[in-house]
Amino acid sequence: MSKEVYKELLEVMKKRGGGYAGMDIPEFYEMVEEMFTPQEAEVNNAMPRGPFTAKDMAKQMGRDEKEIEEILEAMANKGVCVALNMDGTQFYQGARFMPGILEFQFMPGRTTERDKKIARLIHAYEKAYDAKIDTTAMTFPTTRVITVDSTVEAGNQVHTYDQVQTFIDKADPIAVTTCFCRHAAALRDEDTHGMPDDVCMQFGMGAQFAVQRLGGRKVTKEEAREVVDFIKTSERGICKYNG
């Protein structure tokens, strides 16, 4: 069963999309077999889109609710799914690899041997993935320009200092976690040049998840502004280890 469940996990993660969604290469299986037990992989593969309760999942899978709840709790605590408490009800949700699971592994800032192993496995998978999709090998165009006579706004942008301040003003709760990319680099024995770790910020429901499951530190708005001010005034606050 175990090999088949990880093959199914590959297809599930491909459908979820995002960065490094899934690729049928040895490095993928080495990584996910360390992250997910076969039972966790089975539950991951059965997750619907959007939030759900343990009761919903148990009914869908035809399993005991207590058993499924224990599996989901273990998955949330190690960052391979999301857990959100809304109005007193515990919900869970499947996560992509990136943004998501790959970063969640390092937000707690742990330094166990297992964390070091996961850091190496993730890095090996990302390198192998990138090598397989080397765009320099393409000899034909993969995109076309279609005139639609309207402005299409880009979805990603670099936010200004003032915009981040606005997020802080509006958000509740706010959390700060270990910088996952720097911490992953440190776990691989790479030099992070003394750059600070306690600088990654989450807002709203993401902050709730980070505090409850990923060792995040809940901060006041004033403390959040201090973090932003520190990053603004120091080049050492700029993240240089993105995967």
Number of domains, the chain: 2
Q: What is the pLDDT of residue 207?
A: 92
Strands in 18-116 per DSSP E = 82-86, 89-93
The residues near 238 (Cβ < 8 Å, ≥ 6 apart) are: 195, 231
Tens of pLDDT, residue by residue over 158-186, are: 555 566 677 788 778 999 999 999 999 99
Q: Which range of residues forms the domain containing residue 181? A: 161-236
Write down which residue in 39, 70, 95 finishes a domain: 95
Query: How much is the average pLDDT of 5-20?
Result: 97
81 in the same domain as 6: yes
Percent of the chain with pLDDT over 90: 64
Whether the Cβ atoms of residue 25 and residue 128 lie closer than 8 Å to each other: yes
CA distance 5 to 107: 27
Quick check: is 100 in a domain? no
Q: End-to-end CA distance of the chain, in Å?
A: 31
Quick check: is 191 in a domain? yes
Quick check: is 52 in a domain? yes
